[in-house]
Amino acid sequence: QKEVEQNSGPLSVPEGAIASLNCTYSDRGSQSFFWYRQYSGKSPELIMFIYSNGDKEDGRFTAQLNKASQYVSLLIRDSQPSDSATYLCAVKSSGGSYIPTFGRGTSLIVHP
Amino acid sequence: NAGVTQTPKFQVLKTGQSMTLQCAQDMNHNSMYWYRQDPGMGLRLIYYSASEGTTDKGEVPNGYNVSRLNKREFSLRLESAAPSQTSVYFCASSEKGGELFFGEGSRLTVL
C-alpha cells in the first residue's frame, strides 16, 4: 500500500512569515512529486512539481525533495492571507502507472 | 478553453436512486480519473482510464461503474445510491502522469 502522509493542521502563520508544509511517502520508487492548492469549495490546482533531489523555486514557492529520506516539502515565503487554503501533496511512483497518490492535505491559515 | 467540465454541479438523490456524473475534457488528454473527496479523507481514486478503451478500479470502486465513451468523455454511474456515497466528486485528466487538471466538482447528497 503506497502511502502519502501529511499533517492535517491547521498550520497557522502570520502574514509575511514562511510557511513550511511537509509530506512523507512510503514508496521508495516514487518519481514525481506534486503540490496542489485547494481553496475551500474549489477544485485542486497545481502549484509546483519536482522530479529531482534538491530545491525548485517558483516565485514565492520552493519545493524541496529528499528521496533518501522520502520527504517532499513546500515553502511559501512572504505568506499572504490569500495563501490560506489546503495544500495537497501527490506522489507518482515509477513502473508506468499514471496514478498519483494523494495525501490528506494540510490546512494553512495565514492571519493578518 | 473549458478544460474539464463536470455535470451536474449539485445533485440530491434518495437512497436507491441511480444517476450518472458526466465529465468531458478538451485538452486531448489520454488519462482520465474520478475521485471522491470527503472531509479529512483527502482525494480517493474511484476509477481511472489510462487511455481510451480502458478502465481500471481505484481505491474505492464499490458501488460505482464508469464508461470511457471516447477520448473526451468519462462518466461515473451510481446504480443504487447509498448515504455513504454523499461526497464531492472530482473528475480529472492528465497526459502521461503529469499534472492533473480537475473539474469544478459535483456535490452529491444521498438522503
- Contact with chain B for residue A43, Cβ under 8 A: yes
pLDDT band for position B40 (cuts 50, 70, 90) = confident
- Interface touch B96/A100, C-beta < 8 Å: no
Contacts 24+ apart (CB under 8 A), B68-75: B68/B32, B71/B28, B71/B30, B72/B24, B72/B25, B72/B26, B73/B22, B73/B23, B73/B24, B74/B23, B74/B24, B74/B25, B74/B32, B74/B33, B74/B34, B74/B49, B75/B20, B75/B21, B75/B22, B75/B23
B52 near A CB under 8 A: no
pLDDT band at residue B105 under the 50/70/90 scheme: very high
| Residues paired with A39 in a beta bridge | none
Residue-wise pLDDT for B59-95, tens only, equals: 999 999 999 989 999 999 999 999 999 999 999 999 8
Q: Spell out which residues of chain B touch residue A103, defining contact as CB-CB under 8 Å.
A: 42
What secondary structure does DSSP assign to A61-73, as a single string? EEEEEETTTTEEE
Task: Give the 3-state secondary structure of chain B.
Answer: CCCEEEECCEEEECCCCCEEEEEEECCCCCEEEEEEEECCCEEEEEEEECCCCCCEECCCCCCEEEEECCCCEEEEEECCCCHHHCEEEEEEEECCCCCCEECCCEEEEEC
Out of A7-11, B4-8, B81-85, which region has the weakest mean confidence (pLDDT)?
A7-11
Q: Does B39 touch chain A (CB under 8 A)?
A: no
pLDDT tens-place string over residues A61-70: 999 999 999 9
User: Is the per-residue pLDDT at B97 higher than 70?
Assistant: no
| Residue in B32, B48, B57, B46 with CA at minimum distance from that of residue B84 | B46
Nearest beta carbon to residue A43 from set B31, B40, B102:
B102
Q: What mean pLDDT do residues A94-111 have?
A: 85
**pLDDT, position A99:** 83
pLDDT score of A23 more than 70? yes
Average pLDDT over residues A50-60: 95
pLDDT the model gives residue A31: 87
* Residue in the block written with cell 494553512: A108
User: Is residue A95 pLDDT above 80, yes or no?
Assistant: no
Write out the three cell numbers for A96. Answer: 508506468
Report the percent of chain A where pLDDT is more than 70.
95
